[in-house]
Amino acid sequence: MAKYIVRRILLLFPVLFGVSLATFMVMHLFTTDPAEIILGQHATTERVAALREELGLNKPIYVQYADYLSDAVRGDFGKSVITKTSISDELMKRFPATLELALAAIFIASVAGITAGVISAVKQNSIFDYGSMVAALMGVSMPIFWLGLMMIIVFSVTLGWLPSSGRISIGMTPEHLTGLYLLDSLITGDMEAFSDALKHLILPAVALGSYSTAIIARMTRATMLETIRQDYIRTARAKGLSEKVVIIKHALRNALIPIVTVIGLQMGSLLGGAVLTETVFSWPGIGSYVVEGIMASDYPRVQGAVLLIGTIFVLVNLVVDILYSVLDPRIQHS
């Protein structure tokens, strides 16, 4: 098992090398010259050339890449060409926001998706089954930014129940421990901050999790339908177990492997793919940071953020693979 994990972690390096090369090339070949953007349209050619030299943009591209890579492996993603601040610091500051949002979204999606999927499978062809599968179809088809805007209109603007943007109200930020506001406010016992952070989190988390909820619900229904027809489910009933125990302990446990795979993949893409949600809800995470970077042609920012997201995605997948052997004793990693 340990050997397997080490091998998988070693495999991380070629993957990340590819990711870094691809983003570096795309940012350098297809975006506008950052020097021109920084200096504005009235800049003289000399000033642009001077800035290009300062930023190292005049060097051959492979030298630039080598410089970038040697810094990146040390955890230094360089400085933002716009704000001149350290990108690594900025990512570290913003990552907890993205993580908190993604965790909340995947939590909502898993609970709602698995519950809906199990009930749909147990009561196949019932009203609930049809209703939840239609809802799931809508969840898969609805664009996240549209859903987010609609939720803001209904719950923030019209009903005024929940705030529409940001992570927390001004002046409420809890003491920084983990960077996850819910957790920090719980640890410090600041219940006011907790409820404020929770209110801010609900809308973006539901919007972000809607697609995953739908995917998880459909996957759960399909695998549960297969599992409840197995012989060992009949054995479980013949033992005198209640229907609840039969479904949850015996059927769901065996259906979990494909469900966990989907949750893991969704978690990976939620961490990296919260770009739209973070923008719609002005969530100060990595997604909105990337969007701002793209708008400003701030290439080091985009490179750094994409590399971080890539690393997280691969790590989440590794965790899922390790979970398999915990869930199914027949799978052994060696």
Partner 1 sequence: MTALLEIKNLQTHFHIGKRVIKAVDGVTLSVQPGETLAIVGESGCGKSVTAMSIMRLLPSPPAKHSGQVLFEGRDILNMSMEDVQNIRGKEISMIFQEPMTSLNPAYKIGDQIAETVRVHDRDGGKVSKKAAWDRAVEMLEKVGIPGAAQRARQYPHQMSGGMRQRVMIAMALACNPKLLLADEPTTALDVTIQAQILDLIRELAQEFNTALVLITHDLGVVAEMAQKMAVMYAGRVVEQGAVTDVFARPHHPYTAGLLDSIPRLDGMKKQRLHTIEGMVPDLAHLPQGCTFADRCEYRQALCGQKKPELGTVDGGRQVACYYPLNLTGGDQP
Q: Binding residues for partner 1, per CB under 8 A?
A: 230-232, 234-243, 245, 250, 253-254, 327-330
Q: Write out the E strands in the chain.
A: none
Residue number, 200 or 250, with CB nearest to partner 1 = 250
Question: CA 310: distance to chain centroid?
Answer: 11
CB of 104 to partner 1, least distance (A): 29
Cα–Cα distance measured from residue 188 to residue 222, given in angstroms and rounded to the nearest whole number? 43
Q: What angle do CA 325, 330, 332 make, to 5 degrees?
A: 50
Residue number, 102 or 236, with CB nearest to partner 1 = 236
Residue number, 46 or 231, with CB nearest to partner 1 = 231
Cα–Cα distance measured from residue 333 to residue 126, given in angstroms and rounded to the nearest whole number? 41
CB of 241 to partner 1, least distance (A): 6
Three-state secondary-structure class, residue 101: helix
- Tokens at 29, concatenated: 């070949």
Cα–Cα distance measured from residue 78 to residue 72, given in angstroms and rounded to the nearest whole number? 8
CB of 229 to partner 1, least distance (A): 10
Residue number, 176 or 234, with CB nearest to partner 1 = 234
DSSP codes, 167-206: SS-TT-PPP-SSS-HHHHHHHHT-HHHHHHHHHHHHHHHH
CB of 119 to partner 1, least distance (A): 17
DSSP codes, 213-265: HHHHHHHHHHHHHHHTTSHHHHHHHHTT--HHHIIIIIIIHHHHHHHHHHHHH
Three-state secondary-structure class, residue 6: helix
CB of 131 to partner 1, least distance (A): 21
Residue number, 146 or 232, with CB nearest to partner 1 = 232
Cα–Cα distance measured from residue 322 to residue 319, given in angstroms and rounded to the nearest whole number? 5
Residue number, 1 or 150, with CB nearest to partner 1 = 1
CB of 124 to partner 1, least distance (A): 11
Residue number, 32 or 125, with CB nearest to partner 1 = 125
CB of 231 to partner 1, least distance (A): 4
